[in-house]
């Protein structure tokens, strides 16, 4: 790739290197000689902007940059960069917008306890090993759309202050969002979770969107708090799904579950229209929780307990014989009063004799 292809001046060291060229050298930081790199590093200070686009970022180069900036980076560009060794951004403060779009991490990538004070983007990044964003704080918008992670992914205890997007992300290893806080909307539409994923004690300030997500192994969204709306519409769970939430609307339309489904609702309302439940399924409620539709639900074993079903639509249920109700409130059919009878006084027949 040359300038016309990527939009920046590329490294003149070789035709194969598309790294962002550092002026006046005309080469990327990875291709500077020792004296040139020393000169660049001496010019760095806390809050300096970093441009390592399409650059091969070795451990030594990264450590020198982080040391010179005392762990405080300004605007940072890592688009299309390659990290061939383990990378640790632990406790680093990113003071400007950060972009890792299309980058590749060939070994461990750890951002443990890092702080992103503005927006950060990891769109279409490839992680060949583990990724840790445990305990990170992201003040701006966060984008992880179409990211691919071959190892385990740790997001536990992270805080996302604004919107967070993971659309069509592909998680190959174990994933944990335990204790993570999403202040704004979180979109995980079309995500693929190939192994167990846990969202225990995760809080969503607005939308928690799992539309079309695929849970190949166990999925645990229990317990989670959702400020506005939880949607699993069109999602698929091969080996079971566990959901516990309250105080919001829950969209389970067209949900497909191959194993056990357990849903616990606290002052929430759920719509199961068109759901296909192949294993035993249980929906339990408390504090006025209700189900609004079971229209065309296909479930051989579905138990509903302690729910308000007074407005629920029951039409088209595929296996009504498998439906069990316990402690549920149903709509009351008003009694039709008997028609009032009028009693007429008997008339005596006239006496003609």
Q: Which domains does the chain have, with CATH numbers?
A: 51-330 (2.160.20)
Which residue bears the tokens 């640790």? 88
Instruction: Report residue 169's pLDDT band, with 50, 70 and 90 as the boundaries.
Output: very high
Residue 88 near residue 114, CB atoms below 8 Å: no
What is the DSSP annotation of 34-97?
HHHHHHHHHT--TT--EE-TT-B--HHHHHHHHHHTTTEE-SEE-TT-EE-S-EE-TT-EE-S-
Q: Which band of pLDDT confidence, cut at 50, 70 and 90, is reported for residue 331?
A: confident
**218 DSSP 8-state letter:** -
Give the pLDDT of residue 52: 98
Mean pLDDT within 323-345: 71
Q: At 101, which helix (H) or strand (E)?
A: none
Residue 59 and residue 83 in contact, taking contact as beta carbons nearer than 8 Å: no
Placement of tokens 């939308």 in the chain: 207
- Is 191 a residue whose pLDDT tops 90? yes
What pLDDT score does 4 carry? Answer: 44
Q: Rounded distance, CA 139 to CA 353, Å?
A: 110
pLDDT score for 2: 42
Task: Inform me whether the pLDDT recorded for 339 exceeds 60.
Answer: no
Predicted structure pTM score: 0.90
Give the 3-state secondary structure of residue 53: coil
Sign of the CA dihedral with 314 first, then 317, 321, and 325 last: negative
Q: Which residues contact 240 (CB under 8 A, 6 or more apart)?
A: 218, 219, 257, 258, 259, 260, 261, 262, 279
Could you give the 3-state DSSP secondary structure of residue 250? Answer: strand
Neighbours of 110 (CB within 10 A): 18
Tell me if 178 sits within 8 A of 198, measured CB to CB.
yes
CA distance 36 to 310: 76
What is the tens place of the pLDDT at every residue in 53-108? Answer: 999 999 999 999 999 999 999 999 999 999 999 999 999 999 999 999 999 999 99
Cβ proximity of 170 and 150 under 8 Å? no
Instruction: Give, for 132, the enclosing helix (H) or strand (E).
Output: strand 131-132
pLDDT at 182 over 50: yes
User: What sign does the CA torsion over 70, 41, 10, 127 have?
Assistant: negative
Which pLDDT tens digit goes with each residue over 265-301?
A: 999 999 999 999 999 999 999 999 999 999 999 999 9
Cα 74 to chain centroid distance, Å, stands at 28
Taking all residues of the chain, what is their mean pLDDT, rounded to a whole number?
A: 94
Residue-wise pLDDT tens digits, 1-33: 344 467 899 999 999 999 999 999 999 999 999
Token look-up 């059919």 returns 333
pLDDT of residue 6: 79
Place of tokens 């067209």: 254
Residue 44 reports pLDDT greater than 50: yes
SS3 at position 222: coil
CA distance 236 to 261: 11
Alpha carbon distance 300, 321 (integer Å): 8
Instruction: Tell me the per-residue pLDDT of 108-165, one tens digit each, with 9 for 90 and over.
Output: 999 999 999 999 999 999 999 999 999 999 999 999 999 999 999 999 999 999 999 9
């Amino acid at each position: 790739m040359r300038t016309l292809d990527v939009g920046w001046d590329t490294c003149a060291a070789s035709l194969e290197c598309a790294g962002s060229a550092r002026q006046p050298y005309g080469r990327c930081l990875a291709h500077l000689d020792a004296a040139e790199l020393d000169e660049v590093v001496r010019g760095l200070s806390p809050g300096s902007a970093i441009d390592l686009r399409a650059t091969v970022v070795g451990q030594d180069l990264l450590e020198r940059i982080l040391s010179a900036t005392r762990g405080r980076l300004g605007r940072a560009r890592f688009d299309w960069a390659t990290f061939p060794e383990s990378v640790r951004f632990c406790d680093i403060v990113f003071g400007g917008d950060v972009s890792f779009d299309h980058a590749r991490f060939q070994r461990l990538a750890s951002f443990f306890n890092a702080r992103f004070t503005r927006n950060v983007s990891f769109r279409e990044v490839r992680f060949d090993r583990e990724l840790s964003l445990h305990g990170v704080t992201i003040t701006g918008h966060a984008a992880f759309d179409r990211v691919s992670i071959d190892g385990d992914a740790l997001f536990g205890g992270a805080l996302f202050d604004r919107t967070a997007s993971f659309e069509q992300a592909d998680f190959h290893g174990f994933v944990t969002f335990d204790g993570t806080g999403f202040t704004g909307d979180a979109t995980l539409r079309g995500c693929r979770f190939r192994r167990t994923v846990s969202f225990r004690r995760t809080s969503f300030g607005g939308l928690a969107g799992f539309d079309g997500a695929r849970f190949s192994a166990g999925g645990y969204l229990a317990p989670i708090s959702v400020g506005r709306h939880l949607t699993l519409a069109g999602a698929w769970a091969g080996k079971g799904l566990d959901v516990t939430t309250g105080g919001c609307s829950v969209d389970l339309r067209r949900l497909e579950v191959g194993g056990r489904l357990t849903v616990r609702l606290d002052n929430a309302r759920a719509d199961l229209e068109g759901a296909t439940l192949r294993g035993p399924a249980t929906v339990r409620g408390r504090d006025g929780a209700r189900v609004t539709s079971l229209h065309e639900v296909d479930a051989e074993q579905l138990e509903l307990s302690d729910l308000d079903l007074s407005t629920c639509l029951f039409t088209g249920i595929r296996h009504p014989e498998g439906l069990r109700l316990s402690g549920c409130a149903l709509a009351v059919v008003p009694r039709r009063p008997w028609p009032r009878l009028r009693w007429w006084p008997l008339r005596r027949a006239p006496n003609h004799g």
